[in-house]
């Protein structure tokens, strides 16, 4: 084998974790190859997840605003029309521009990129790993409306029948294969009536009705999109609140706001059966109301690590205690020497920004840099209207721990900029240790909550206090002033609220 096919690091998967890790490795003078089975880099996030969903959220939000909110601003649209085809084309243009940018970064950092399915092989006598590259076989890919998702998880994938197109060798291999949507066994994705998030982002017509199973971030974001465009959306959740595990005040307030958008909710219920009809699907529910009919059904009950790709199961890599994710040590190394794993494949929240930090930290540790980051300060965001954001602990968790805390809450409608924008709901909540004042967590429901949370994340990363936030000068009038006021409220000295 020529030296051209021998690398310091082979990265399998070019999603947010994989391509960021590859770039950082190249910056550290490693010879890097990245192997991706999608036509464009960026993985699920850039191609069929985070980015296209935000493009659709922005477009649908503007449509709803023009129809229902801007008249209060004195702006009238007498002949409002929706061109979903053009809206979808804009979404794809955003995706193409971003994935093209990632492609340029890969080339600019002199990283070798191979399109195909990378499968981990056994190391040789010098502990150098082999990665085989297989051509795409579209018959073996899971399809949902709008494009290819992930390689088939069926055992009869045909690898034993097809020869590898080529193989490369690398001293280290980083597994960054990501995750795939969870299917319900009695209603598999068909890309027509039973949809994954990929399918829900690729509809060519606004459905008259849509049932969404699962009230997590993906389900609620898609509810926000299609309800804004005129679909009758019903969200079904087996738990007693939307966003299970999140702050209950945030969940209740967001549900109220989404109801104003027209979204209906069925909580403490689950779907037990699905029957295809000519014009949709009839769902049988475990509890009252018993059944529900909808033109389209989005299954958004979560994602699972893509353990059935890249030869992970056949390589003897140990899984964690519940056999759901790959077990890794503090350096992200698996049970197989020289093989590492990051992102959705390992413990921690399944978030793109977490995968990116995993990738950077893993590669820097390979290079002998004592890098680390705190899983306890990873922000979570739901990009609905308004947005919800959280970091650290919530009140329910602190009460369960028996930890004494002080709370500061500031209502978003009391913020001058928010009022000028027409925001009538939401809040900023900051939780601090009762004795030390160290910030333990925060929750925000507000326009641009995804941006507002970053200030609190920074303070928490520095082990800072609510007093630190309260003493920072914030420009006026801005939404971040609500963060300052919530910090002031921790010690009962908010200026612009009587709470």
- Cβ burial, residue 230 (10 Å; 0-12/13-18/19+): middle
Name which of 376, 314, 382, 321 is nearest 346 in CA terms.
321
User: Would you say 350 is a known binding-site residue?
Assistant: yes
- What are 389's strand-pairing partners? 381, 444
Q: Is the distance from CB of 481 to CB of 415 less than 8 angstroms? A: yes
Phi, psi of 274 (to 5 degrees): -135, 135
User: Would you say 408 is a known binding-site residue?
Assistant: no
Chain centroid to Cα 385, Å, comes to 17
- Map 432-483 to HEC letters: EECCCCEEEEEEEEECCHHHHHHHHHHHHHCCCEHHHHHHCCCCCCCCCHHH
Q: What is the dihedral of CA 158, 159, 160, 163, to 10 degrees?
A: 120
Lookup result for tokens 């929706």: 82
User: Would you say 214 is a known binding-site residue?
Assistant: yes
User: Would you say 352 is a known binding-site residue?
Assistant: yes
**Element containing residue 450 per DSSP (H, E):** helix 449-461
Q: Is the distance from CB of 210 to CB of 226 less than 8 angstroms? A: yes
347 catalytic? Reply is no
Half-sphere exposure of 271 (CA within 13 A, CB side): 27
- Count the Cβ atoms, other than its own, within 10 Å of residue 214: 24
Q: Is the distance from CB of 469 to CB of 484 less than 8 angstroms? A: yes
Given 68, 73, 476, 496, the catalytic residue: 476
User: Would you say 344 is a known binding-site residue?
Assistant: yes
Q: Would you state the structure tokens that stand for residue 452, as one six-digit string? A: 């507002």
Lookup result for tokens 């093209």: 100
Sign of the CA dihedral with 327 first, then 333, 336, and 340 last: positive
User: Would you say 351 is a known binding-site residue?
Assistant: yes
User: Would you say 118 is a known binding-site residue?
Assistant: yes
- In sequence order, what E strands does 309-404 have? 339-341, 380-382, 387-392
User: Would you say 216 is a known binding-site residue?
Assistant: yes
User: Would you say 399 is a known binding-site residue?
Assistant: no
User: Would you say 475 is a known binding-site residue?
Assistant: no
- Count the Cβ atoms, other than its own, within 10 Å of residue 89: 11
Residues marked as catalytic: 476
Q: Which residues are annotated as a binding site for NAD(+)?
A: 214-221, 237, 302
Q: Which residues are annotated as a binding site?
A: 54, 118, 214-221, 237, 302, 344, 350-353
Q: Which residues are annotated as a binding site for FAD?
A: 54, 118, 344, 350-353
């Amino acid at each position: 084998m020529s030296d051209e096919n021998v690398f310091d690091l082979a990265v399998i998967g070019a999603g947010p974790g994989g391509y960021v890790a590859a770039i950082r490795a190249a910056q550290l003078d490693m010879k890097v190859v990245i192997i991706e089975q999608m036509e464009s880099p960026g993985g699920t996030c850039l191609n069929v997840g985070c980015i296209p969903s935000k493009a659709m959220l922005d477009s649908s939000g503007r449509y709803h605003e023009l129809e229902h909110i801007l008249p209060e601003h004195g702006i009238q649209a007498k002949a409002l029309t929706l061109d979903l085809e053009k809206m979808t084309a804009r979404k794809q243009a955003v995706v193409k521009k971003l994935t093209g940018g990632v492609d340029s970064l890969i080339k600019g950092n002199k990283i070798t990129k191979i399109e195909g399915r990378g499968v981990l092989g056994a190391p040789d006598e010098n502990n150098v790993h082999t990665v085989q590259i297989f051509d795409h076989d579209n018959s073996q890919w899971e399809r949902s409306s709008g494009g290819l998702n992930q390689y088939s998880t069926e055992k009869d994938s045909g690898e034993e029948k097809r020869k590898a197109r080529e193989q490369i060798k690398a001293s280290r291999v980083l597994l960054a294969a990501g995750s795939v949507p969870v299917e319900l066994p009695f209603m598999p994705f068909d890309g027509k009536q039973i949809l994954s998030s990929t399918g829900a982002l690729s509809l060519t017509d606004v459905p008259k009705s849509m049932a969404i199973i699962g009230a997590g971030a993906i389900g609620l974001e898609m509810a926000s999109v299609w309800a804004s465009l005129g679909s009758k959306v019903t969200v079904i959740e087996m738990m007693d609140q939307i966003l299970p595990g999140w702050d209950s005040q945030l969940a209740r307030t967001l549900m109220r706001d989404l109801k104003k958008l027209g979204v209906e909710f069925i909580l403490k219920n689950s779907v037990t059966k699905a029957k295809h009809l000519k014009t949709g699907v009839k769902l049988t529910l475990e509890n009252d109301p018993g059944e529900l009919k909808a033109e389209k059904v989005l299954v958004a009950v979560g994602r699972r690590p893509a353990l059935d790709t890249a030869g992970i199961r056949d390589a003897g890599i140990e899984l964690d205690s519940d056999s759901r994710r790959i077990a890794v040590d503090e350096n992200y190394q698996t049970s197989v020497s020289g093989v590492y794993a990051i992102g959705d494949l390992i413990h921690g929240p399944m978030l793109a920004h977490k995968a990116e930090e995993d990738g950077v930290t893993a590669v820097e540790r390979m290079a002998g840099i004592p890098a680390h980051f705190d899983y306890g300060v990873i922000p979570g965001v739901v990009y609905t209207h308004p947005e919800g954001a959280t970091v650290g602990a919530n009140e329910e968790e602190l009460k369960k721990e028996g930890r004494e805390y002080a709370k500061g809450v500031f209502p978003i409608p009391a913020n001058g900029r928010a009022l000028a924008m027409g925001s009538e709901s939401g809040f900023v909540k900051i939780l601090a240790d009762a004795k030390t004042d160290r910030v333990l967590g925060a929750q925000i429901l507000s326009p641009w909550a995804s941006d507002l949370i970053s200030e609190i994340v920074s303070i928490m990363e520095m082990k800072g206090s609510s007093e630190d936030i309260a003493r920072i000068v914030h420009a006026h009038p801005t939404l971040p002033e609500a963060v300052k006021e919530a910090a002031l409220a921790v010690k009962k000295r908010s200026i612009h609220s009587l709470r």
